[in-house]
């Protein structure tokens, strides 16, 4: 395997792994969706809501 092949594989694994890991960590922390940065509500839907 050449250097570029290894670098591409590592980068791809990092990107896919990073997205999956972030989703899992957000769930564990109680951030249910991850912020969509829409600025309407700051981080309100990332907060663990108690009232319904």
Partner 1 sequence: MIRIALAGNPNSGKTTLFNILTGSTAHVGNWPGVTVDKREGTYRKKDVSAVITDLPGIYSLSPYTPEEVITRNYILEEKPDCVINIVDATNLERNLYLTTQLMEIDVPLVVALNMMDEVKRRGESIDADALAQKTGVPVVAISALKGEGIDKLIQCAVSQAQHPRKGTTVLKDGNLKHLIGDIRIALESLSVDNTLFHAIKLTELDELETSLHPQLVPMVEKFKATFEDDTFGNDFEAFIANARYSYIAENFARALKTSGKQTGLTRSDKIDRVFTNRWLGIPIFLAIMFAVFHITFSENFLFLKAFIPEDWESLSGTAFSGVFGAGAVNSPGVILQSLTGVFTDWLTDTVRGWLSTSPQWVSGLICDGIMAGIGSVLSFVPQILLLFMFFSILEDSGYMARVAFILDRIFRKFGLSGRAFMPMIMGFGCSIPAMINTRTLADEKERTATIRVIPFFSCGAKLPILTAVAGAIVSSFGVSNADVITFAMYLIGIVTAILTVILMRNTSMRGETPPFIMELPAYHLPQFKSLMIHLWDKLKHFIKKAFTIILASTIVVWAAMHFSFDWQYLTDEQINQSILAGLGQLTQPLFTPMGFGSQLGEYGWVFAVAAVSGLIAKENVISTFGTLAACLGAVIGEDPSGVQYVEQMITFTGATVAGLVAFIVFNMTTIPCFAAVASAKGELRKGTFHRTLLFWLVTSYTAATVVYLVLSWWWTVFIVAAVAAAAVWGIVVYNKKHPVRSI
Neighbours of 35 (CB within 10 A): 14
| Least distance CB 13 / partner 1 (angstroms) | 9
Site residues for partner 1, 9-48, by CB under 8 A, read 12, 15-16, 18-20, 22, 32-34, 36-42, 44-45
**How far is residue 52's CA from residue 45's CA, in Å, rounded to a whole number?**
12
CB 26 within 8 A of CB 12: no
Per CB under 8 A, residues contacting partner 1 are 2, 4-5, 8, 12, 15-16, 18-20, 22, 32-34, 36-42, 44-45, 49, 51-52
């Amino acid at each position: 395997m050449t250097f570029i092949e290894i670098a591409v594989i590592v980068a791809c694994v990092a990107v896919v792994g990073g997205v999956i890991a972030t989703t899992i960590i957000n769930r564990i922390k109680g951030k249910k969706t991850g912020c969509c940065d829409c600025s309407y509500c700051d981080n309100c839907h990332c907060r663990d809501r108690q009232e319904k």
